[in-house]
Amino acid sequence: MSDQNTQADNAPAFNMQRVYLKDLSLEVPNAPNIFLEQEGPKVEVAINVGGQALADTVFESTITITVTTRINDKVLYLVEATQAGIFEIANIPAEQFDPLMGIVCPTMLYPYLRANVADAITRTSLPALHLAEVNFQALYEQRLTEAAQQSPQVASHNEESGLILPPGMTRQ
């Protein structure tokens, strides 16, 4: 019986425990005059993925997005939002941990972020912005490639992905 308990204790575990909006900022700095502009807006989007260890098997994963929408050279609106989630991750091999935090967790959180950003913009009486899907695997691989092009000392450090790994866990 204790052999079964040992096997259960060592079984891989991955669970989302909580999803929350960690930060949200919306500015419409040129209102009300900007509403009179007739040209269509240009949208710029920047996304960053991060994370940190909260306990031995509990981790926070975050996606931060900055959306800047301009008409001509005037800012129509600026949205900065951080969507976060708390995940239980246990008994996952070290080589799978960073992709889990850099791809899987953000993929699970992104629909919540999209909804929160769209809702915030709609509340300004402006048309909703529907953020495009993001391929977090491609984003992760791009960051790995960029890190490999830097010095080996920097490439072996985990900061290039924005993740803070638990002690003893390194990228293979």
Q: 54: which 2 tokens?
A: 């909260």
pLDDT at 146: 85
pTM here?
0.80
Res 172: pLDDT: 33
Parse the chain into domains and list their residue ranges: 13-161
- Least-confidence region, from 33-37, 60-64, 108-112: 33-37
Q: Is the pLDDT of residue 159 over 50?
A: no
Contact 61, 105 (CB under 8 A): yes
Q: What is the pLDDT of residues 131-144, one digit of tens each?
A: 999 999 999 999 88
Which pLDDT does position 14 carry in this prediction? Answer: 95
* Percentage helix, strand, coil for the chain under 3-state DSSP, each rounded to 5: 35, 35, 30
CATH 3.10.420.10 fits 13-161, yes or no: yes
pLDDT of residue 150: 83
